[in-house]
């Protein structure tokens, strides 16, 4: 996905092969990046959790023989503990800067570029922008050419994986900022928006007797519905069990799934803060980050 452009197919057969090979090659590359992201976040979470437990032991909140079991009262279980996004962002940022500085030193010494151009090349390459104005390994011969090309391959591979992980963490931080801005706008919004949201919630709610009204089955009442009781049953009417289970089918299915997962011992506990965010689900790499990181650091 870099696409420097210094080497391109010239024949029709080569272009067709590139399309077919690129289809599976790019998909495999994205899969590799996602697996790398999952492993590096798991490693960081393990290290940061161990440091967190050590800090709790030093402060006296955990007993010395605590081994991820039920914690003492007032501390809470550490089974569902997740590292803060901002801590992971700081660690990945430091690692990316260190890797770029080391790679830039190599490119400055071998390619003859100045250090700023080498840093620029590292960012363009690691972020897969690939302008092509600066490309490494283009000279006819180098001193220790095999070692240089191997080092170039390692730096590009690790740099792209690191920047890919860093971009996903930054996307979660941007999501938090957007959520904060939306909450601020919601607090300052006019009362009409609150009325419209309440009206939408009432419209989409499933009320008892909805199935009977859909089939035009009339219910004998003492009088006409007024504005407050329209669309709802009166207090003296009975609700059948069949109608209740039909209207709450989704809730019962979710409850049954949660009970089954609890009995089997999975999934792991999820931090409460991640449930309060409207964007906490995510797809692909964003879902990996949300599953392994805490989206807020209020409790950290």
Where exactly are the structural domains of the chain?
9-59, 84-188
**pLDDT at residue 196, as a whole number:** 56
Give the mean pLDDT of the chain: 76
Residue 145 phi/psi, 5-degree rounding, is -65, -40
Lowest mean pLDDT among 98-112, 224-238, 281-295: 224-238
- Residue 244 is predicted with a pLDDT of 61
So what's the pLDDT on residue 295? 52
- Retrieve residue 98's tokens: 């260190």
Percent of the chain with pLDDT over 70: 59
CB 62 within 8 Å of CB 53 = yes
Distance CA 164, CA 243 (A): 50
- Mean pLDDT, rounded, for 195-223: 49
CATH dotted code for 84-188: 1.10.287.70
pLDDT band at residue 281 using 50, 70 and 90 as cut-offs: low
CA angle 105–108–111, rounded 5-degree value: 135
- What dihedral do alpha carbons 218, 200, 236, 225 form, nearest 10°? -50
Q: What is the pLDDT of residues 231-248, one digit of tens each?
A: 445 544 555 666 666 666
| Res. 206: pLDDT tops 60 | no
What is the spatial distance between Cα 128 and Cα 131, in angstroms, rounded to a whole number?
9
Which residues lie below 8 Å from residue 173, measured CB to CB, with a gap of 6+? 85, 86, 89
Place of tokens 């070692």: 147
Cα–Cα dist 155/176, whole Å: 31
Determine contact, residues 160/126, Cβ cutoff 8 Å. yes
H-helix segments, the chain:
12-59, 85-111, 115-126, 145-187, 191-204, 210-214, 241-247, 249-264, 272-275, 285-292
CA angle 249, 253, 256 (to 5 degrees): 140
Query: Long-range contact list for 46-51, CB < 8 A, 24+ apart?
Result: 48/83, 48/87, 48/88, 49/78, 49/81, 49/83
**What does the pLDDT look like over 162-185, one tens digit per residue?**
999 999 999 999 999 999 999 888
Q: Is 257 exposed, middle or buried (0-12, 13-18, 19+ CB in 10 A)?
A: exposed
- pTM score, two decimals? 0.64
Q: Hey, how many other C-beta atoms are within 10 angstroms of the C-beta on 86?
A: 17
Q: Note the pLDDT of residue 292.
A: 73
């Amino acid at each position: 996905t870099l696409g420097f452009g210094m080497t391109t197919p010239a024949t029709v057969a080569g272009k067709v092969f590139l399309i077919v090979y690129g289809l599976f090659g790019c998909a495999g590359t994205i899969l590799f990046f996602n697996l790398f992201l999952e492993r590096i976040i798991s490693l960081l979470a393990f290290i940061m959790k161990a440091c967190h437990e050590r800090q709790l032991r030093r402060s006296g909140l955990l007993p010395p023989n605590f081994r991820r079991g039920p914690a003492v009262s007032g501390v809470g279980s550490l089974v569902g503990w997740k590292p803060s996004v901002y801590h992971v962002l700081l660690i990945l940022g430091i690692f990316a800067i260190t890797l770029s500085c080391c790679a830039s030193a190599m490119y400055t010494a071998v390619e003859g570029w100045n250090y700023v151009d080498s840093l620029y090349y590292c960012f363009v390459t690691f972020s897969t922008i690939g302008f092509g104005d600066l490309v490494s390994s283009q000279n006819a011969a180098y001193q220790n050419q095999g070692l240089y090309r191997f080092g170039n391959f390692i730096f590009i591979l690790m740099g792209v994986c690191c920047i890919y992980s860093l971009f996903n963490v930054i996307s979660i931080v941007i999501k938090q900022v957007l959520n904060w801005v939306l909450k601020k706008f919601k607090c300052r919004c006019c009362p009409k928006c609150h009325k419209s949201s309440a009206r939408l919630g009432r419209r989409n709610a499933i009320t008892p007797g909805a199935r009977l009204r859909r089939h035009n089955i009339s219910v004998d009442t003492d009088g006409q519905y007024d504005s407050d009781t329209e669309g709802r049953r009166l207090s003296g009417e009975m609700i059948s069990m069949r109608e209740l289970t039909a209207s709450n089918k989704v809730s019962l299915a979710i409850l049954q799934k949660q009970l089954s997962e609890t009995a089997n011992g999975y999934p792991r506990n999820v931090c409460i803060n991640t449930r309060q965010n409207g964007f906490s689900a995510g797809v692909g790499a964003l879902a990996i980050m949300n599953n392994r990181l805490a989206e807020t650091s209020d409790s950290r």
